[in-house]
Structure formats: C-alpha cells, structure tokens
Amino acid sequence: MPELPEVEITRLSFASRIQGARTTGVRVGKPLRWPIGCDPQHLLSQSVGEVVRRGKYLWLPLESGGLLLHLGMSGSLSFAANVGEPGRHDHFDLSTTKGTLRLTDPRRFGAVVWSPSMHSGPAAKLLCGLGLEPFDAEFDGAYLKSALRSRSGPIKQALLSGAIVVGAGNIYACEALFEAGIDPRTRSSKLSLARCERLAAAVRRTLARALDLGGSTLRDFRDAHGIAGEFQLHAQVYGREHEPCARCSAPIRRIVQGQRASYFCGRCQRR
C-alpha cells in the first residue's frame, strides 16, 4: 500500500507540471472505492491550483472545488502529454492543457472524490480523523506521550492507526521502532517521555530517509514518472526475518500483529 513517502513522492513528480493547467477532458472508468460525487462535466474548463498532500490523500484544487485522491492498496498516478489508450486498470483520466493525469488501480480501492473545498464536504469528513503530520513542529515526545496515555494496545498498532501521526505505515513503523529501540508489542501507555521523544525523532528520520530514497517499492509502486522507490533495499529489520541484526547480530524476528507482519530485534528492542 502506498504510504506517506510514496504519496509525497508521487505529488512531487507531477504537482509543478500540472499547476496552472486548464482541464479539457474527463474519463471515468470502473467504479472506485467511492463515487466521484459530481457530474464529470463539472470538472471541465477549470484551472488547476497547487496540489497538496494530507496524510495519504492528495488534494487537487480547481477553480470550483477540487478532487481528493487516494491511491488505495495498489493505485498509482501518472502524468504525461500522451498517456495512450486506457488499459483495464486505468479508471480515471483528467486531461489538461499540459497533460493527462491518470489513476491506475488494479484492486480499485483508490478514490477520486469531488469536494467543494479541502475543509468542507466529503474531503473534510475523510480527513478529520487524521493525526499530525510527522514533520509538524507539534509532533514531539510530549505530544506522543499525551496521545498514548489512554491507549492500552501495542505501540505498533497505535502508529499504524493514523489517528496519532500519519505516514507511519507498516515498513516505516517497523524501522522507526527499531531505531528507537522499542519492541513493537510494548503497551502504548507504558512508554516513558524519554522513549516517546526517541520514537518521535525516529519516525521523522525514517520518513525523511524514505523520501530521499523515493519511497518503497514492495510490489508495484511507481511515481508519476514511472520510477520505483529504493527504501526497502536499506531496511534494517523489515523483510529480514532470520537475518542477523546490523547492531548485535541476533536474528531478526517476525510476528503478526493485527494481520500485519512486524519485524524486530528481540535483543535491541525492549518492552
């Protein structure tokens, strides 16, 4: 599933090229996760503003409202002057004077939803439950400690929920917990302020590295240029079951939490 780094990399790969373009055509294919919510003709002859990201959503503003896009489990966006004829998994095209933005999604869990603004209508409802952005100044140890105080579940699950901080998807949560020296099974409310400070810093550093490396390509992620990410090639624990820990040489362990695989070092990461 594309996470925050992959979505941000996607945004950066086409945002500056589409900004200022004027929409000239819309093609809606098979139904996605939610209906688009407007007559596609309403999207025509409108100028495109600055594309922004919130969590794993992209907001593409138009003169009248805008489109909230989500890549779902397997979606990707491409933007080119000539995208060719749509294939069986190409479910949405927005043609503009600078090129066509195409959403390709084999599983169709992605979405393109019209909203009157990012802060009202369907967009507001979809975004209202999101936690802080990891690079916000407010995301620090004190905030994390306060947000975890009433949570009795494992810290890995708290990170994945997106209600405290967005962007710490499975691979990044595993890597950040390893960097912070915290066992993924640790009860969230038991983390001290010092450990929360280490974890907040580790989440930021992990996601920053992922952005530098173009995100992770575990299956089929590509940015709007068609370029794969490389973070997975530098993972310390994720996908490395039984391999030696880079710090202590103990074998990396794998367990399942909430139907997701967690990788960690039982010697370096403590409860």
Would you name the residues annotated as active-site residues? Answer: 2-3, 56, 260
**Residue ranges of the alpha helices (H) in the chain?**
4-18, 121-127, 141-148, 155-160, 170-180, 193-212
User: CB–CB of 103/27 below 8 Å?
Assistant: no
- Other beta carbons within 10 angstroms of residue 242's beta carbon come to 8
Environment class of residue 65 by beta-carbon count within 10 Å: exposed (0-12), middle (13-18) or buried (19+)? buried
Q: Please count the residues of the chain.
A: 271
Rg (CA), the chain: 20
Q: Are strands 99-104 and 111-115 parallel, antiparallel or unpaired?
A: unpaired
Q: Is 210 exposed, middle or buried (0-12, 13-18, 19+ CB in 10 A)?
A: buried
Sort 103 into a burial class: Cβ within 10 Å, 0-12 / 13-18 / 19+: buried
